[in-house]
Structure 1
Amino acid sequence: MSEPNRRDTAHSCVVSAPADVLYGLVADVTRWPVVFEPCVHARFLERGAREERIGVWARVGGEVRSWTSRRLLDPARLRIAFRQERGADPIASMSGAWSFRALAGVRTEVVLTHSFTAAGDGSALDWIAAAVDANSERELAALRRLAEQEQPVDELVFSFTDQVRLPGAAADAYEFVRRADLWPRRLPHVGRVRLTEDPPGVQDLEMDTVTADGTAHTTRSIRLCFPAERIVYKQLVPPALLFGHSGAWDFAPARGGGSVVTARHTVGISPGAVREALGAGVTLAEARGRLREALGANSRATIAHAGEHAHAAGVGGGTGAVA
């Protein structure tokens, strides 16, 4: 059997920001769904001082694909190398590196390289190359857009959680959140919903919502469902105030009965949109506070209704899985 074809690519850009800031954005995978357009979800599987394993779910060529990568971090040299341990067809192997070279005038050259082989003919290699080219350009553009803002990254990208204990089973609360197609008649802040699921566990959700202050939003999200335990999402069309929004719902049994549901949000504020979205004179700190309250209120409302559903399912002796 012949060795699969190999191809090497390199993409680069110059960013008006310190090299260590850019290195930090790439090193912290928990922010990737907000920072990088293609990324839907990323998490640490193993984490050491210089070596780690991560799981990544991303939109590639119009569909959600997942893989596991091992990364070697070198903060002294400002370099992060990666190698996929488990990829998805037609990728036979994939490796590469991020490197950050400081330039004069607080500028940085960012270089992203890939080396890959295809499990198939030349057309498969071309498909991989096209996907790598498209995603690499988007990722570099996203780094530049965020790092070149006047405000520090930590003031623009932030996370928060709400945790509520419920009387019903975690599995029933999970089903309530998973069945978003039923939300218009179950949740007062949700209007129209369009939900598709293909393949199983990967949902495309578009919906109209109203926040506590009466503001209406239309959003579209990709959701990944991990049965009875977790649902993560990334908004493809976030509200105008945000350049990115991702989150997760976690469901766990509680000691002594019932369940605990945790809603987590990670958001990225577009500073230039604050005035138009919230009015003149609103500071970035005030915008963060309003976002935290508005998004948190909707999450808490959803959790409360999930609790009622789970409790009713438990009293009725059913799972509530089918409504």
Structure 2
Amino acid sequence: MSGPRVHRLSYAVDVAAPAGVVYALIADTTQWPLFVPPSIHVERLDFDGVRDRFRIWATANGSVSSWLSRRTLDACARRIDFRQELPAAPLLAMGGSWTVEELGPDRSRLLLSHEYEVAADRPGDAEWVRRATDTNSLAELAQLKDTAERWGRLDGLLLAFEDAVRVKGPAQLVYDFLYGIADWPGRVPHVARAEVTEDSPGVQMVSMDTRTGDGRQHHTESVRICFPYAGRIVHKQTRPPALLAAHAGEWSLLPDETGVTAVAQHRVLLREEAVERELGRGATLADARAHVREALGRASLSTLELARRHAESAVRML
């Protein structure tokens, strides 16, 4: 009796960048939320330079799925083989490879292949997986191509920073405030609207309108993955403001004997072509970096300060 049918899909894109640059972008899974659009968050579990094991949360046909995956990296051949250890339903198995071919000193070809099996070979499930794989793979290749072709300026386009607030109160009360994003309108001044759905525990889909310091309003959409026992909420904007090509971050709580340090971390990939359109004629990448650092930092610190007041006020009332 034959087993389930093996479905095969393959994709390719030519990139005006050195093969080593392209390979580096796909080799580091911790950066995927910035470079691979469907990726929301990656928790690396094991890595020795050749074998990579991690849990990933990613969008698929409008929903969020999570699975364990392992990869084998061959830097000399510029090839990465991957296989899901615990595939998300309706998959029975999913694997494939990334390969980067050198076409010249500054030209390469990125190839992505998938092989998968679906439980009971159900046609509807097979079509769902094919559609998700097509959509995600094409988005991944397009963003990786765009990012790699800016490799000479990439350091200026990437921005990472954090801010922290000291709280003399329990971590749980701070976490409750940060988790309750649906209640932020009316509690957090720069949040005008927040609609939240949580079909799976700890996975929040957020649609939000926020006000900037200059009075403008931005609409964003985000996914948040909540880890209550670790005191962490990781997030990624699936629809970021126009100045950002990608934005991911984390709220984290570091408790000690006398209270907790609440930290807001941000990682950003700037959208170079939007700088003058958003900030005015003559605006530079340095202006964009300063603007984003100030705007995101101000909003995060304001939220952390409100979380601090919430926690400390509750303690005083007790």
Shorter chain as denominator, the TM-score bin is over 0.9
Measure how far apart 1:97 and its partner are: 1.0
Taking structure 1 as the reference length, what is the TM-score of the superposition?
0.93
Task: Answer yes or no: is 1:54 the counterpart of 2:54.
Answer: yes
The reply on whether 1:313 has 2:309 as its aligned counterpart is no
| Aligned pairs for 1:100-139 within 5 A | 100-104=100-104, 106-123=106-123, 124-139=125-140
The answer to whether the Cα contact below 8 Å between 2:18 and 2:105 also exists between their aligned partners in 1 is no
**How far did residue 205 of structure 1 move?**
1.3
Structure 1: stretches of 5+ with no match in the other structure: 318-323
Q: Is the 8 A contact 1:5 1:125 kept in 2?
A: no
1:257 to partner: Cα distance: 1.7
Aligned match of 2:71: 71
AA partner of residue 248 (structure 1): E
The CA deviation at 1:67 is 0.6
What's 1:320 paired with?
Answer: none
Q: Do the aligned residues in 2 keep the contact of 1:5 with 1:122 (CA within 8 Å)?
A: no
Cα deviations by residue, 1:249-300 (Å, 9 ceiling, x for unpaired): 112312x221111111111111111001112222212211221111011111
Structure 1 CA distance, aligned partners of 2:29 and 2:306?
Answer: 32
State how far apart, in whole Å, the 2-side matches of 1:85 and 1:285 are. 43
CA distance in 1, matches of 2:28, 2:155: 12
Structure 2 equivalent of residue 145 of structure 1 = 146
The 1-side partners of 2:62 and 2:216 are apart by: 31
* Structure 1 pair 45–213 and aligned structure 2 pair: CA distance change class (3 A): farther
- SS class of match (1:102): strand
Question: Which of 235, 249, 264 is residue 233 of structure 1 equivalent to?
Answer: 235
SS at match of 2:10: strand
Contact map agreement 2:23 2:78 (CA 8 A) in 1: yes
Q: Partner letter of residue 179 of structure 2? A: R
Segment of structure 1 superposing worse, 21-30 or 58-67: 21-30
**1:29: how far off?**
1.8
Query: How many Å apart are 1:30 and its aligned residue?
Result: 2.2
Conservation of the 8 A alpha-carbon contact between 1:212 and 1:298: no
The DSSP-based 3-state class of the residue aligned with 1:142 is helix
Tell whether the 8 Å contact from 1:220 to 1:236 is kept in structure 2 after alignment: yes
How large is the Cα RMSD of the aligned pairs? 1.7
Q: 1:115 to 1:280 in 2, by over 3 A?
A: same
The equivalences for 1:152-231 within 5 A come to 152-228=153-229, 229-231=231-233
Q: Which whole-Å CA distance do the structure 2 matches of 1:98 and 1:212 have between them? A: 43
Q: Distance in 1 between matches of 2:102 and 2:45?
A: 31
Partner of 1:248: 250
- 1:93 corresponds to which letter in structure 2? A
Structure 1 residues 221-248: Cα deviation after superposition (integer angstroms, max 9, x where no partner)? 1111111511111112211111111111
**Distance in 1 between residues matched to 2:210 and 2:152, nearest whole Å:** 29
Range with bigger deviation, 143-152 or 160-169: 143-152
Report the Cα offset of residue 158 of structure 1.
2.5
Cα distance in structure 2, aligned partners of 1:279 and 1:221: 27
Calculate the TM-score normalised by the size of structure 2. 0.94
* Secondary structure in structure 2 of the residue aligned to 1:120: helix
Whether the aligned pair in 2 keeps the contact of 1:213 and 1:294 (CA below 8 Å) is no
Shift of 1:122: 3.6
In structure 1, distance between residues paired with 2:90 and 2:207: 30
Match of 1:289, SS state, is helix
Q: 1:148 to 1:308 in 2, by over 3 A?
A: same
Percentage of pairs with the same residue:
42
Specify every segment of 5 or more residues in structure 2 that has no aligned partner in the other structure, as ranges: none
Residues 312 and 120 of structure 1, relative CA distance in 2, 3 Å threshold: farther
Q: What letter is aligned with 2:241? A: P
Letter in 2 for 1:61: N
Report the Cα distance in structure 2 between the residues aligned to 1:170 and 1:136, rounded to whole angstroms. Answer: 39
Q: Aligned with 1:186: secondary structure?
A: coil
**Structure 1 range deviating more: 280-289 or 205-214:** 205-214
